[in-house]
Amino acid sequence: MKSSAVPTIDRPRPFAVNELFFSTTESRGIITSGNEVFVRISGYAAGELVGKAHNLVRHPDMPRSAFRLVWDRLKAGQPAAALVKNRAKDGCYYWVVALITPTADGYLSVRFKPTGANLGVIEPLYAQMRAAEVAAEQGGADGEAAMDAGAAVLGAALQAHGWADYEEFMRVLLCGELQSRDAALAQGRLAIVQPLPADAQRRALREPVLKYLADIYRDGLLAYKHLDGLYHRLDQFVALNQTLSSKSAFVNTLTDELRLSSINVALASTRLGGEGESLGVISRHMDETSGEVAHSVHGLVTGINTVSGRLRGVNFNLAASRLQLEMALTFLHELLASDDLSAAWQERCGLIRTLHAAFTATMGQASQALHELEEAVHPLGAIADYLSRHMLTLQVTQVGGLVESTRLSSQGNFHDIFLSIREQIERTHKELAELTNALHQLAGLAVETPGLAREIVQAADRMGQDIATLPAEAVAPVVPVAATKPASPAESAVPAESEMAVAGV
C-alpha cells in the first residue's frame, strides 16, 4: 500500500510509555527489519514494511525540511534525534522521539513515546514550517527552495528559544525527553528493562539456544546497571554546569567593574600631585592586580564554556547509549519470550549484532567524551585557586588605600570609593569561592566517571563475546544424557566465523 493511499485520521494510535521499538534501513532509507512493537504500532504486517521506503509511515503534517536536517546529519556520519509524527496503516497518527544512528549497512532508528514539554513547542512549529513549504511551492519554488523556506522558520524559532542551532536543540530534546519518560515510568511503576524470564532456564533444556541468549542478556543487564548509575549522575553534572555558567558570568562582570574602579582611583590620585603620590602607587598596584584577575577570569569563562560544550556531548552520548542498550535488551527479551526462535533466526542474530554494535559505538564516544571532559576541567581548578589568592592581595591593597586616604588633607570622595571597592571585592571573592567549589566538585566527578565508563565498556565487551558464540541454527539437537561426555577445549571452541554468517540487514 502506498503512503498516499492511506487516509489521515486525527486520532492517536496508542502505545505505552514503557514500549520501545526500532527499525533498520539500508542507505537509501528502505526498511530492512523492525521489532514486533514497530509492526504492531504501524499497523502494517512485517511483509508490508520490509522492502518499502520508510516514508511509508510519514505523516503529511511533517515538514520535509525537518527530514532534510536529519538526513544531512546521517550522511555526515552523525546521529540525529528528532520528534516525528508518523501515520499508521489505519490513518491514525503517533508521535515518537527518534534516535537515528548510522550502522555498517545503513541506519538504525530507535523510538519511544514523547512525554515532555517539547511536543507542545514542536507541533505548532512543524505546522508553520509545513505552511512555509507549501506557500513556497505554490509560488513556483522547487523542492529544495521550499525546504529552505521551512528551514528558515525552524532557524528563527531555535534562536528565539535560545538554541544556537539544531544540534544543541537535538541534545536538549533527547536528554529532556528521556528524563521526562523516566519520571513517567517511576510514577506508573513501570520499567523498560525487564528481568530475565523465569522459565528461560527450563526452556533452555529443549531449546539450547536460549542459554546463549540468556548469557547475552545477563551481561547486558550488568552493563545497564553500571550505565544507569552513570547516567543518573548527569543530574549532578547538569546542576554544576548551571552553577558554573551563572557564577562565571557574574564574576566576569564583577571583576570588570572592580578594574574600572581601580582605574578611576589611579586617575583621580594624579590630580592631587605630590600629596597623592602614595595613593597613586596603591591604586596602580590595585589596577594591575585587578587587571590580572579580570584577564584570568576571562580565561576561566572561556574554559568553562569549553567544559559546558563537552558536557553537552557527554550528556547526549550517555543518553543515546542508554537508550540503545535498552532497545537491545528489549529485543533480546522479546526473543527469550518467543515461542518460535527458529523463524528468521539468521536475521534475528544480525539484528542482535546491529543493536549491540550501535550501543558500543555510542558508548565508546561517551567514554571518550568523559576523558576529554576530565582534561578540560583539570586546569580550571588551578586558575580558580590562583584567582582566590589574588583576591586576598586585592583585599590587603584596598585596606592600605583606605588608610592612606584618611591621611590626605583633602580626602575628597576617596574614602567612599575605597569602601565601595571593598564591597566589590567581598562580593567577587564570595562568588569566586562558590565558583571554585563547583569547579572542584565537577573535577571530582570528572575523575570518577571514566572508571565507571570502563566498567560499562567491559560488560559490553562480554556481551560481544557472548554474541560471537551464537550458533548458526536456532534449535540444536538435544544429545541423550547417556551419550554425553565432558567437552575438550577444542570441542568447546567458539564456532568459526563462517558458521555465524548472517543475512545483511
The three state secondary structure string of 409-454 is CCCCCHHHHHHHHHHHHHHHHHHHHHHHHHHHHHHHHHHHHHHHHH
**What is the per-residue pLDDT for 397?**
79
Distance of CA 87 to the CA centre of its chain: 27
Burial of 283 (0-12, 13-18, 19+ CB in 10 A): buried
**What is the per-residue pLDDT for 208?**
83
Residues, the chain, total?
505
Q: Cell digits for 213?
A: 541468549
**Helix-then-strand count for the chain, H and E:** 12, 5
The sign of the CA dihedral 464, 468, 471, 474 is positive
Spell out the domain ranges in the chain.
Answer: 3-159, 208-469+479-483
Q: Is 95 helix (H, G, I), strand (E, B) or coil?
A: strand
Of the CA atoms within 13 Å of residue 301, those in its CB half-sphere come to 17
N-to-C CA span, the chain: 22
Angle at 355 between CA 352 and CA 356, to 5 degrees: 80
Looking at residue 12, what DSSP letter applies? B
**What is the per-residue pLDDT for 285?**
77
Q: Is 110 helix (H, G, I), strand (E, B) or coil?
A: strand
pLDDT tens-place values along the chain, 505 residues long: 444 567 899 999 999 999 999 999 999 999 999 999 999 999 999 999 999 999 999 999 999 999 999 999 999 999 999 999 999 999 999 999 999 999 999 999 999 999 999 999 999 999 999 999 999 999 999 999 999 999 999 999 999 988 889 999 999 999 999 999 999 999 999 999 999 888 877 787 778 888 899 999 999 999 999 999 888 887 787 778 778 877 777 777 877 777 787 777 777 777 666 666 777 777 777 777 777 777 787 788 888 888 888 888 888 999 999 999 999 999 999 999 888 888 889 999 999 999 999 999 999 999 888 888 888 888 887 887 787 787 788 778 778 877 777 776 555 577 777 788 788 888 887 878 888 888 888 888 888 888 888 899 999 999 999 999 999 887 644 443 333 344 433 333 333 222 222 222 2
Q: Is 285 helix (H, G, I), strand (E, B) or coil?
A: helix
Q: How far apart are CA 324 and CA 328, in angstroms?
A: 6
**What is the per-residue pLDDT for 487?**
40
**What is the per-residue pLDDT for 475?**
60
Q: How far apart are CA 257 and CA 25, in angstroms?
A: 58
**Interacting residues of 444 by C-beta distance below 8 A, sequence separation 6+:** none
Q: Is 108 helix (H, G, I), strand (E, B) or coil?
A: strand
Task: Label the pairing between strands 93-102 and 80-87.
Answer: antiparallel
355: enclosing H helix or E strand: helix 345-406
The three state secondary structure string of 126-175 is HHHHHHHHHHHHHCCCCHHHHHHHHHHHHHHHHHHCCCCCHHHHHHHHHH
Single-letter residue type at 154: L
Instruction: Check if the beta carbon of residue 377 is closer than 8 Å to that of residue 443.
Output: yes
Which residue reads 570528572 in cell numbers?
Answer: 446
Q: Cell digits for 261?
A: 574602579
**What is the per-residue pLDDT for 2?**
47
Of the CA atoms within 13 Å of residue 166, those in its CB half-sphere come to 21
Instruction: Indicate the CATH number for domain 3-159.
Output: 3.30.450.20
Instruction: Check if the beta carbon of residue 171 is closer than 8 Å to that of residue 315.
Output: yes
**Interacting residues of 358 by C-beta distance below 8 A, sequence separation 6+:** 101, 103, 108, 324
Q: How far apart are CA 25 and CA 107, in angstroms?
A: 5
Instruction: Check if the beta carbon of residue 221 is closer than 8 Å to that of residue 330.
Output: no
Q: Cell digits for 483?
A: 551419550
Ramachandran bin of 58, using left for φ above 0, alpha for ψ from -120 to 50, beta for the remaining angles:
beta
Q: How many CB atoms lie within 10 A of CB 368?
A: 15
pTM of the model: 0.82
Angle at 365 between CA 328 and CA 65, to 5 degrees: 80
Q: Closest Cα partner for 1 from 37, 40, 55?
A: 55
Q: Cell digits for 161?
A: 528559544
Angle at 28 between CA 351 and CA 82, to 5 degrees: 75
Scanning 188-276, the segments in alpha helix (DSSP H) are 200-203, 209-232, 234-270
